[in-house]
């Protein structure tokens, strides 16, 4: 069994969340949003039409600048109202994006569905409505229901989107189908129907592979990640899991705007932030930079900015908590501990059904030298998947780290033995027990653990 850590995937999920918004015009479907932003800005300067304001609304929304997106949407509606424009198709598109904004940024389900339902009413009255827009609206409504744990409503809305897309021959509808299959997979996973979830994720991958120029790299990366999670947590095919995780990371790395290798020019990041102030990845890198420089107040400023961009993204809370926890482990500075605990308390609030987050919380607790908390989180993780051996191993390590150079806790031995019992051929578990037995003078027992 390969050793696997989710620490990198916490960072991955800041950018690559479980749902991907799908654009509605060819330029946004095929291009990266940052280059489109420049083109749409120039167009708006020449013609302040409702459509151009809507275009700016969409691209700023995809760039996570939700406040600016809301301003552009309101401006688009003002233009329509000022000319007594009866273009209900355009109005419904604006209202649909406003629903996305309130769902993503303001966590207000009532206002979200007010916008969605008004947009849906206008579209359903129009026999000439854009089918892609209507399908996308149903897909967004379904995912919002999913976040609220309204599973039946979510399935109904997502299947409506899928039924529309399946009747269309335009390859861009593959994006709708792939997004629908991903969301139906997530719903099946929540129900505990893991094999069905896997089938949906595979269908999503197949749709994107046949979508040609409309292939959405972020969505494909998410589908690979979800398949990796399936193989890791529900089968013995761990190598297949790592292959999917690797492919997921590889795809995402191709879609990142800046070079994120160690030593990246911080001035380049700051320059990009002037144009794209709400880019989560850029703000994360700035927070990481300032934490390494021990400039805690500056780091918190960027961390809070990430949370404001997407307050419901539990993975953002996990990544930020981890940054502070690592710094606490290195320095012992209590302020880092306090900040780590602050974000740790909130990371499970928005998605308590995601088992990976309990694993993340356990790892963070290890850095915070809090073995009891680590034990609680890893045990919760082990209840929701078949990967109990790794959970037991991590609990053992949590107690081992907390009692280093002191009397070893009985729980260090207890969970190391439980891990080995689950996977008797695992050399890492044998090595841990070998070290524990040797440290405590149990030489005969140690000899049994030699690899």
Query: Which residue from 170, 171, 113, 123 is spatially nearest to 143, judged by alpha carbons?
Result: 113
Q: pLDDT tens digit string along 286-311?
A: 887 887 777 777 887 888 887 777 67
Q: Is the pLDDT of residue 406 over 50?
A: yes
Could you tell me the pLDDT band of residue 85, with boundaries at 50, 70 and 90? low
Is 318 exposed, middle or buried (CB count within 10 Å of its CB: 0-12, 13-18, 19+)?
Answer: buried
Which tokens hold the place of 136? 């996308």
In the numeric block, the tokens 């404001």 are attached to 308
The 8 Å CB, 24+ separation contacts for 190-196 are 190/151, 190/353, 191/151, 194/230, 194/233, 194/234, 195/234
* Range from 69-78, 149-158, 304-313, 411-420 carrying the lowest mean pLDDT: 304-313
Average pLDDT, stretch 242-257? 62
Which tokens hold the place of 27? 């330029």
Q: For the chain, list the domains and their CATH numbers.
A: 7-254 (1.25.40.10), 387-451 (1.25.40)
Cα end-to-end distance, the chain, whole Å: 14
User: Residues, the chain, total?
Assistant: 451
pLDDT on residue 158:
96
User: What distance in Å separates the CA atoms of residue 203 and residue 184, rounded to the nearest whole number?
Assistant: 11
Average pLDDT, stretch 120-141? 90
Q: Are 229 and 18 in contact (CB under 8 A)?
A: no
Q: pLDDT tens digit string along 186-242?
A: 999 989 899 999 999 999 999 988 777 667 777 888 898 889 888 887 777 877 887
pLDDT on residue 331:
84
- What is the average pLDDT score of the chain? 80
Average pLDDT, stretch 43-59? 90
Q: pLDDT tens digit string along 16-44?
A: 444 455 544 544 554 466 678 888 888 99
User: What distance in Å separates the CA atoms of residue 298 and residue 312, rounded to the nearest whole number?
Assistant: 22
Q: Is the pLDDT of residue 149 over 60?
A: yes
pLDDT on residue 94:
92
DSSP code string of 327-378: HHHHH--HHHHHHHHHHHHHHTTS-TT-HHHHHHHHHHHHHTT-HHHHHHHH
pTM of the predicted protein model? 0.59
Could you tell me the pLDDT band of residue 350, with boundaries at 50, 70 and 90? low
pLDDT on residue 386:
67
Q: What percent of the chain has pLDDT over 70?
A: 82
């Amino acid at each position: 069994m390969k050793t696997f850590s989710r620490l990198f995937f916490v960072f991955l999920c800041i950018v690559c969340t479980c749902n991907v918004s799908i654009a509605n015009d060819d330029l946004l479907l095929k291009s990266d949003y940052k280059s489109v932003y420049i083109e749409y800005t120039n167009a708006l300067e020449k013609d302040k039409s409702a459509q151009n304001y809507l275009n700016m609304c969409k691209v700023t929304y995809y760039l996570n600048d939700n406040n600016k997106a809301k301003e552009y949407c309101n401006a688009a509606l003002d233009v329509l109202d000022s000319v007594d424009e009866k273009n209900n198709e355009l109005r419904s598109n604006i209202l649909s994006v406003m629903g996305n904004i309130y769902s993503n940024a303001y966590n207000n389900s009532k206002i979200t569905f007010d916008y969605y339902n008004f947009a849906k009413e206008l579209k359903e009255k129009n026999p000439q409505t854009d089918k892609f827009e209507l399908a996308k609206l149903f897909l967004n409504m379904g995912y919002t229901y999913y976040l609220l744990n309204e599973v039946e409503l979510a399935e109904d809305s997502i299947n409506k989107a899928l039924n529309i897309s399946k009747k269309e021959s335009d390859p861009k509808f593959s994006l709708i189908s792939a997004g629908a299959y991903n969301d139906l997979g997530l719903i099946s996973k929540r129900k505990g129907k893991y094999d069905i979830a896997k089938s949906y994720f595979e269908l999503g991958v197949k749709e994107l592979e046949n979508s040609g120029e409309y292939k959405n790299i972020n969505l494909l990366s998410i589908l690979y990640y979800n398949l990796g999670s399936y193989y890791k947590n529900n089968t013995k095919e761990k190598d297949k899991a790592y292959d999917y995780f690797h492919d997921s990371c590889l795809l995402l790395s191709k879609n990142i705007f800046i070079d994120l290798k160690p030593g990246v020019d911080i001035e380049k990041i700051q320059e990009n932030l002037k144009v794209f102030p709400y880019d989560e990845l850029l703000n994360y890198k700035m927070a990481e930079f300032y934490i390494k420089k021990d400039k805690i107040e500056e780091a918190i400023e960027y961390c809070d900015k990430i949370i404001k961009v997407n307050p419901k993204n539990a993975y953002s809370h996990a990544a930020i908590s981890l940054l502070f926890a690592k710094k606490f482990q290195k320095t012992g500075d209590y302020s880092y501990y306090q900040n780590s605990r602050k974000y740790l308390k909130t990371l499970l609030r928005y998605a308590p059904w995601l088992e990976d987050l309990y694993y993340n919380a356990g790892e963070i607790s290890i850095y915070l030298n809090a073995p009891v908390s680590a034990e609680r989180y890893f045990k919760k993780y082990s209840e929701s998947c078949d990967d109990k051996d790794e959970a037991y191993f991590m609990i053992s390590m949590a107690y081992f780290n907390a009692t280093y150079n002191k009397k070893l806790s009985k729980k260090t031995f207890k969970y190391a033995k439980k891990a080995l019992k689950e996977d008797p051929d695992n050399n890492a578990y044998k090595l841990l027990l070998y070290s524990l037995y040797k440290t405590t003078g149990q030489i005969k027992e140690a000899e049994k653990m030699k690899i």
